[in-house]
């Protein structure tokens, strides 16, 4: 994760806050538009339409016109992304943003000269309408930065996070296909039987978080103490976010390096078909309450993992319909609703196959990907290929 502590001067801070205000204003307008929408009406405006409306609003409103159009457009883009995550059931519905909460904006079309190092521990980034803002050069800035996001946490600290599109990882050329299933108890299960665990709050940290939340409930509104507790909670959460993002980077690189084809379920369909087992948005009856604390964390991590895989293994990610993946026996193919003994274990009553339920699902995803690939005349399973699979042979997401 390339996140750096931004050190604006007080003038610059005022200008940055103005960008945040614009981003928040535009975001909230988008939320309002979608809140007005009712079933049966014409669909709420999409990104393109909203951009057109933004142009109109800027023409009529001097305050808005004075701001950066990039900041405002990117807020709309964020909103569009949030809505699609919502429909893909990986995230909650985007809501109203309040001042001081999750403040930030994004700048795109960053040129190579817009980020520079001025000394061993100091860098500078060029922010539209603000100028060169210093940041702590705590590690190397990735090459090929395409965009960055500036954020202000509740404690009032500023950060800049640079995004570079990762270099594709070369395929191993073994013809191997892996199925990856999003688990509830573990973050992801592979068809090879391997379980991958995204870091979540460790026990000690979780206890500390609960303690802080109790303290927060007791602290008086607007008090100094309340502010301090809030800041401590924000720090704890930010630390965990960093660790999870790091995990996503390592895991996506590892999968792209080890397998030629990576099969995942199509999230948009997944939300609708897996109610029996429980989806992230609507956990089934068997999902323990304890999982609740991690559910959102795992969900957002999963979406990011798939997005990163598609960047690092372009054309090698197959998205398949998850219908029955959790109820089908990966050994004999029978669909058996009763085979799911618990959240964790699967036992086929027809052939006797028993195993971890998430691994069973991952194996089904792998099988489905195999059919999808060979139906299109490419990549016969189990036979090594010595070249990269061709993009057009695969269902690409």
DSSP-derived 3-state class of residue 162 = strand
Q: How far is the CB of 352 from Zn ion (least distance, A)?
A: 7
Q: How far is the CB of 357 from Zn ion (least distance, A)?
A: 13
Q: Which of 78, 124, 176, 358 is catalytic?
A: 358
Residue 181 among the catalytic residues: yes
Q: Kindly report each contact of residues 93-100 with a partner whose C-beta sits within 8 Å and lies 24 or more positions away, as own/partner.
A: 94/27, 94/30, 94/31, 94/34, 95/31, 96/28, 96/31, 97/24, 97/27, 97/28, 97/31, 99/21, 99/24, 100/154
Q: Which of 181, 260, 266, 310 is catalytic?
A: 181
Give the closest residue to 270 by CA, choosing from 234, 229, 317, 319. 319
Nearer to Zn ion, 227 or 355 (CB): 355
Nearer to Zn ion, 295 or 328 (CB): 328
Q: How many residues does the chain have?
A: 397
Give the closest residue to 255 by CA, choosing from 187, 346, 331, 328. 187
Nearer to Zn ion, 308 or 328 (CB): 328
Q: How far is the CB of 349 from Zn ion (least distance, A)?
A: 8
Cβ pair 197, 187 in contact under 8 A: yes
User: What is the Cα–Cα distance from 303 to 281, expressed in whole angstroms?
Assistant: 13
Phi-psi region of 246 (alpha: psi -120 to 50; beta: other; left: phi over 0): alpha
Q: How far is the CB of 338 from Zn ion (least distance, A)?
A: 12
Q: How far is the CB of 277 from Zn ion (least distance, A)?
A: 17
Q: Which two tokens stand for residue 44?
A: 């709420």
Q: How far is the CB of 350 from Zn ion (least distance, A)?
A: 5
Q: How far is the CB of 206 from Zn ion (least distance, A)?
A: 38
DSSP-derived 3-state class of residue 319 = strand
Pairing of strands 317-320, 103-107: unpaired
Q: How far is the CB of 327 from Zn ion (least distance, A)?
A: 11
H helix runs in the chain, sequence order:
10-36, 47-60, 62-65, 69-87, 203-218, 224-258, 267-273, 292-312, 357-375
CA distance to 17, 106, 178, 284, 286, per residue, from 151 (Å): 10, 9, 37, 36, 38
Q: Which of 18, 265, 266, 310 is catalytic?
A: 265
User: What is the Cα–Cα distance from 196 to 185, expressed in whole angstroms?
Assistant: 10
Query: Which residues sit opposite 95 in a β-bridge?
Result: none
Measured in whole angstroms, the distance separating CA 135 from the mean position of its chain's CA atoms is 25
Query: Which residue ranges make up the site for Zn ion (CB under 5 A)?
Result: 329, 331-332, 348, 350-351, 353
Q: Which two tokens stand for residue 380?
A: 């016969």
Q: Known catalytic residues?
A: 181, 265, 358
């Amino acid at each position: 994760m390339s996140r750096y502590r931004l050190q604006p001067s007080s003038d610059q801070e005022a200008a940055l806050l103005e960008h945040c205000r614009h981003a928040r204003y535009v975001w909230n307008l988008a939320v309002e538009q979608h809140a007005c929408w009712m079933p049966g009406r014409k669909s709420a405006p999409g990104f393109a339409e909203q951009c057109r409306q933004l142009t109109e609003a800027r023409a009529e409103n001097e305050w808005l016109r004075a701001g950066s159009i990039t900041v405002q457009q990117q807020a709309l883009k964020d909103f569009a992304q949030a809505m699609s995550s919502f429909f893909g059931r990986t995230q909650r519905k985007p809501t109203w943003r309040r001042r001081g909460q999750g403040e930030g904006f994004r700048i795109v079309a960053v040129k190579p000269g817009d980020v520079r190092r001025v000394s061993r521990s100091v860098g500078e980034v060029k922010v539209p309408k603000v100028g060169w803002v210093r940041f702590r050069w705590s590690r190397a800035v990735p090459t090929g930065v395409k965009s960055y996001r500036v954020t202000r946490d509740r404690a009032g600290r500023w950060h800049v996070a640079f995004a570079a599109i990762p270099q594709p990882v070369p395929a191993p050329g073994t013809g191997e296909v892996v199925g990856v299933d999003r688990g509830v108890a573990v973050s992801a299960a592979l068809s090879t039987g391997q379980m991958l665990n995204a870091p979540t709050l460790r026990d000690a940290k979780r206890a500390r978080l609960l303690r802080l939340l109790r303290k927060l409930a007791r602290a008086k509104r607007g008090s100094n103490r309340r502010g301090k507790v809030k800041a401590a909670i924000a720090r704890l959460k930010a630390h965990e976010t960093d660790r999870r993002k790091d995990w996503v980077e390592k895991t996506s690189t590892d999968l792209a390096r080890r397998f030629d084809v990576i099969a995942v379920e199509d999230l948009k369909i997944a939300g609708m078909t897996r109610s029996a087992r429980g989806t992230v948005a609507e956990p089934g009856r068997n999902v323990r309450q304890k999982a609740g604390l991690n559910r959102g964390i795992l969900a957002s991590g999963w979406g990011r993992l798939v997005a990163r895989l598609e960047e690092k293994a372009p054309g090698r990610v197959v998205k398949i319909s998850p219908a029955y993946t959790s109820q089908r026996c990966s050994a004999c193919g029978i669909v058996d609703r009763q085979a799911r003994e618990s959240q964790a274990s699967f036992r086929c009553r027809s052939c006797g196959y028993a195993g971890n339920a998430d691994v069973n699902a991952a194996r089904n995803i792998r099988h489905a990907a195999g059919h999808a690939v060979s139906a299109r005349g490419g990549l016969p399973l189990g036979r090594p290929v010595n070249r990269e699979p061709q993009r057009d042979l695969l269902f690409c997401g």
